[in-house]
Amino acid sequence: MITCGQSNERTDTSLQVKIEQLLTEARVVLPGAQALFGFQLAIVLTRAFDRLPQVSIVVHAASLFMVAIAVMMLMGPAPYHRIVYAGEDTEDMYRVGSALVMGATLPFGLGLAGDVYVVIAKISGSFAVGAVTGGLAFMFLTGLWYIYPIIVARGRK
């Protein structure tokens, strides 16, 4: 198990440190999401995009929308912290910020998986191969971002 060297003891982390970590995590993930979003926007302007099957165009549009939602959710905690609490650390800030950052992974994963479908379907020439690969990508991301951490957390209790 990847985490077998970790202690089962939890330390009390201050609210200030938790919020600082939360905002840092959002800042670390955000550039990748923004880069993907930029590539998704740019691809629409190419000739090859016009030659994609209609289903791939629709999946790409849905993926673009999902990544845009993820970017907005990742950007949300910082202004919320500044506007609502004037930069003060509160439990509500931590709760809302955590929900936004964790919640952003779902639309981000859907957006990534959708575009994996588009690319693999284009390369293979097969809707089915693209759909299976996109589905596997989403399952892998879900497992990595949600299922594995939940299993490890339950094992620590």
Let me know: does 26 contact 78? Beta carbons within 8 Å: yes
Let me know: does 130 contact 118? Beta carbons within 8 Å: yes
Which pLDDT belongs to residue 60? 97
Which pLDDT belongs to residue 6? 55
Which pLDDT belongs to residue 5? 54
The pTM of this model reads 0.86
Please list the ranges in the chain whose pLDDT falls under 70. 1-11
Residue identified by tokens 């299976």 is: 132
Residues 72, 75, 76, 80: is their CA dihedral positive or negative? negative
Which pLDDT belongs to residue 157? 77
